[in-house]
Amino acid sequence: MRTFLPSPPLPPDAHGVRRVEFKALGTNCALLFRQSSDQIALQFVAEALGWIQAFEAKFSHFRPDSLVSRINAAAGKSWVETDAEMDQILDLAEAMYRLTNGILDPAMLPLLRVWDWKKARESMPAKTDVEKARDLSRWQDVQRRPGGIFLPREGMGLDFGGFGKEHAVDQVIAIAKRHGILDILVDLGRDIFALGGNGQHPFWHVGIQDGVRPENCLGGLAVSGYAVCASGDYARRFEHEGERYGHILDPRTGWPVRHGLRAVTVLASSCVVAGIYATSIFVLGWREGMVFAESAPGVEACLQNEQGQIATSNFIQHQVRGTP
């Protein structure tokens, strides 16, 4: 099993904030927290990183020895036994699918494989390959029973990328609370939850990604007791015959989203909810996405395209004064 190589918990800065940086879940991660006791700080970091390592080992389809990879390898062949933790994740996948009316489909691995963003994109995939993969990418075809799951057709596959990092963020926050840490910002690849304050203010400052000019921020958010997740095509994309294609797929078409939306930033009471809404809104687009955001209690969103931004009514309440 791989081991993380994080930086050690640094001595608190002038405001009492410790920072730990590490790589996990395929991305750059950081924990910023306030805890006066070195011993408690070390115990928290050890438990949090241990949990993340175990989660990745079990639920990443990039790990050939993971449980989800064993489920995918058995597609069209046999049932696979699941434990309580896997059943919980599968229940979460079902809830995500239903909440978004299939906009987020946890059985989209065949489509993700066709649109392999780790390969240099020199040509478009064949339409027949996209359609074949889309036909295999159907959560409603997945069969479940207590303690077991079966993917009935060979080539099917599960991917928990739609909520996996976000679930991990929420779990690390729960671990922090168990250690009595009430001032913390968890950042797993820019999926964020902030609790308490940063020692200067009773909140943490989180930037709003500019999807048109990714090197800039649109402004800042004062966040405490909320998650912040962003979705967009600014980070991973390519151009083909003058058209821009991002990495976020629409399972209804099997093709990358291409309606002009550049970035979505969402605040919600949990990172899982924030992440689900951020991606769903981006897939739905400017008008439908805004309607979806406004229909969700406790969810605030900001949408950006080349012409400007729109936001739900209470999003501005979280913006730091002096920012756009």
Q: What is the pLDDT of residues 204-223, one digit of tens each?
A: 999 987 766 767 777 899 99
Assigned domain for 15 exists: no
Distance between CA atoms of residues 284 and 17, nearest Å: 39
Binding residue positions for Mg(2+): 162, 279
**Residue 68: which residues within 8 A CB-CB, separation 6 or more?**
58, 59, 60, 61, 86, 158, 160
pTM: 0.92
Whether residue 223 is found in the same domain as residue 134: no
Residue 183 pLDDT exceeds 80 = yes
Closest CA to 260 of 218, 230, 289: 289
Whether residue 210 is found in the same domain as residue 297: yes
Whether residue 118 is found in the same domain as residue 221: no
Q: Which domain holds residue 295?
A: 203-324
Using CA atoms, how far residue 312 sits from 204, 288, 297, 304, in Å, is 21, 13, 11, 12
Using CA atoms, how far residue 78 sits from 73, 109, 149, 276, 323, in Å, is 9, 18, 9, 30, 55
Assigned domain for 31 exists: no
pLDDT confidence of 323, banded at 50, 70, 90?
A: very low
pLDDT tens across 225-238, in order? Answer: 999 999 987 665 56
Assigned domain for 159 exists: no
Assigned domain for 9 exists: no
User: Given 130, 150, 170, which residue is the final one in a domain?
Assistant: 150
Residue 119 main-chain phi, psi, to 5 deg: -95, 150
Residue 243 pLDDT exceeds 70 = no
Assigned domain for 315 exists: yes
Q: How many helices (H) and strands (E) does the chain have?
A: 8, 17
Averaged pLDDT for residues 68-81: 98
- Counting the structural domains of the chain, the total is 2
Distance between CA atoms of residues 18 and 204, nearest Å: 14
pLDDT tens across 163-172, in order? Answer: 999 999 999 9
Higher pLDDT, 185 or 242: 185
Q: In CATH, what number is assigned to the domain containing residue 292?
A: 3.10.520.10
Residue 156 pLDDT exceeds 80 = yes
Closest CA to 264 of 214, 227, 293, 304: 304
Residue 188 pLDDT exceeds 60 = yes
Binding residue positions: 162, 279
Averaged pLDDT for residues 75-90: 98
User: Given 106, 133, 150, which residue is the final one in a domain?
Assistant: 150
